[in-house]
Structure formats: C-alpha cells, structure tokens
Amino acid sequence: MDNLSTMARQPLLRTPLILIVTLTLWSSGVARSEEISVAPGSLVRWPGERIEKCSIGDRSWEPLAGECWFPIDLLTLEGPLEVARWRRGEREKTILQVASYPYEVQRITLQDDSQVNLSVEDLERVRRENQKIAGLWGLESPRQFRFPLAPPLDPLPTGGRFGSRRFFNDQPRSPHSGADFAADSGTPVLATATGTVALSGDFFFSGKSVFLDHGDGLISMYFHLSGIAVEQGDSVDRGEILGLVGATGRATGPHLHFGVRWHRARIDPQLLLAPTDQIRAVPSL
C-alpha cells in the first residue's frame, strides 16, 4: 500500500534498526547490567549454548539455529520489555529497552476518496476481512522456514518504508506494516519460504493477496497482486510463483507490498531477508 510518486521523492530505504547496545560495568567489575535499545518492528537474537525455549510474556517458542529470536511488534510502547530463554531447565531473562517510534511520516494523496473515507458497506467489508486475517496470527504448525528468507521478487529492487506513519488525504491511518517494492505489473511474486497458502483473495485495502503460513507462527503476505497463481490450502516451495505484481486494492501504482508477522509481531520483513549475522544480538556477558 503505497504512493509510488511519493516514494520516488523520498529515500527508498529507511532501515528501522536504531539498535544501540550499552553495557554498564558496575564498580566491582563482576556484576554487570546491560541495556539494549531496540526499535519497534525490529528483531533481536540472543545466542547461547543449549537453549531449550524462548519467550516474551506468555508466548514461548523453540530456538532457531540454536538461538532465541525475539520479534518486537511495530506498535510496542516505549519502555522496558523482558525477554527470556531456558537453558538446562533454568529461566534466564534480559531486559530490552524499546525505543520511541522512530519512523518517517508519509503523506499520500488518493484521488478516490472512498478508499480513505469508507462507506458503511465498505467498513463492514473491511471488518469482516480483518477478522479473517486476524485468525491467521494464531496458527500453530511446524516450522518450515529458514533465515534468511528468500526475496519475494528476483531481483529484489530497493524498497522499504516499513513503519512509516501514514496520512491518507491528510487523515492519520495505521503505520505501514510491510515493505513496498516497486516493480512492473506482471512481475512474478515468489514465496519467501516453504509453507501453506493460509488465505488468498481480493481484499479492500490489500487487493489481491496471498498469505502463507510457514509454521512456528511466521506468516508472510503479498499484496496488490494483479493475479494469484495459488489456492488456499496449497503447499508451496520456497521460491515458487504465487502470483504477479499489480496495483489492486488501495495502491496508486504497481508494486509488491511484502509483510511478515512472526509470533503475532509486525516486524520489518527486510530484516528477515538480510544475512542473519546482521541481526543485532544480545551481548553475552
């Protein structure tokens, strides 16, 4: 969901990583505290030996490649966030400091005002669609992905604008929860990982859309397609064609909106496409 003419005038890639690691040494030199500042919508990993489980609040999951990975939802409020891991049956915790929301403001003008000020019928349609979509976040199936994920376009153009605060026709709307990649209409859109088509169809805002379930709570999304090549329930392989780039739904030009949710958290999908050693790690003390 983006305005491509606005995109062209502004920096294309806004990396939301403003992760600042601060280590505080206490005077004894023995007891140490750490404070890791993380941006909402980012990702942190906590390496360690023999990790059995990772958790935030009441949600827990298995380690991935031996490490705990913590997705920080885009709308997480500023302040401390406790995360934990289990090793040899013992719970260890650390505190992440969630920084204030750092993203840019984007103003988008849509000629079709009915896509900004919705009719009663459209509001009802969006409510029904959102309900259906929200049902995906709780899916629990075995993990079928590996990091980094495969790019959804090949080659992947520069893109992004994850998290931008948006004003459509001067009215504030939800922040942008995916990354936009401008591409020609008809460009093949590829599965970022092996998975199952959890939902597909034509939605009010996202147009023709495909939602893939990759297991372990990871859902990837592909919006504004001109055509869909898969059906709900299909198994797809990493790199398989899901559909074609288009401009359906609330879009002003052909582009792919690519988004992910992991353990319900909206995070910048570009972080999952990057080499894993680029993801900020909790320092070992």
The residues of the shown chain that bind Zn ion, judged by CB under 5 A, are 1-2, 180, 257
- Measured CA to CA, the distance from residue 98 to residue 244 in angstroms comes to 37
**Of residues 4 and 84, the one with the C-beta less far from Zn ion:** 4
Q: Looking at beta carbons, which residue is closest to Zn ion?
A: 257
**Of residues 216 and 268, the one with the C-beta less far from Zn ion:** 268
**Of residues 45 and 257, the one with the C-beta less far from Zn ion:** 257
Task: State the minimum distance, in angstroms, from the CB of residue 227 to Zn ion.
Answer: 18
- Measured CA to CA, the distance from residue 247 to residue 256 in angstroms comes to 8
Task: State the minimum distance, in angstroms, from the CB of residue 114 to Zn ion.
Answer: 19
**Of residues 46 and 162, the one with the C-beta less far from Zn ion:** 162
CA distances to 106, 177, 251 from 42, rounded to whole Å, are 20, 11, 25
Task: State the minimum distance, in angstroms, from the CB of residue 241 to Zn ion.
Answer: 20
136-171 b/e (C-beta count within 10 Å ≥ 16 → b): beebeeebbbebbbbbbbeebeebbbbbbebebeee
**Of residues 61 and 162, the one with the C-beta less far from Zn ion:** 162
- Measured CA to CA, the distance from residue 68 to residue 243 in angstroms comes to 33
**Of residues 180 and 216, the one with the C-beta less far from Zn ion:** 180
Strand partners, 166: 106, 173
Runs of H (alpha helix) within 135-281: 269-273
Task: State the minimum distance, in angstroms, from the CB of residue 174 to Zn ion.
Answer: 11
Task: State the minimum distance, in angstroms, from the CB of residue 275 to Zn ion.
Answer: 24
The number of residues making up the chain comes to: 285
- Measured CA to CA, the distance from residue 227 to residue 185 in angstroms comes to 10
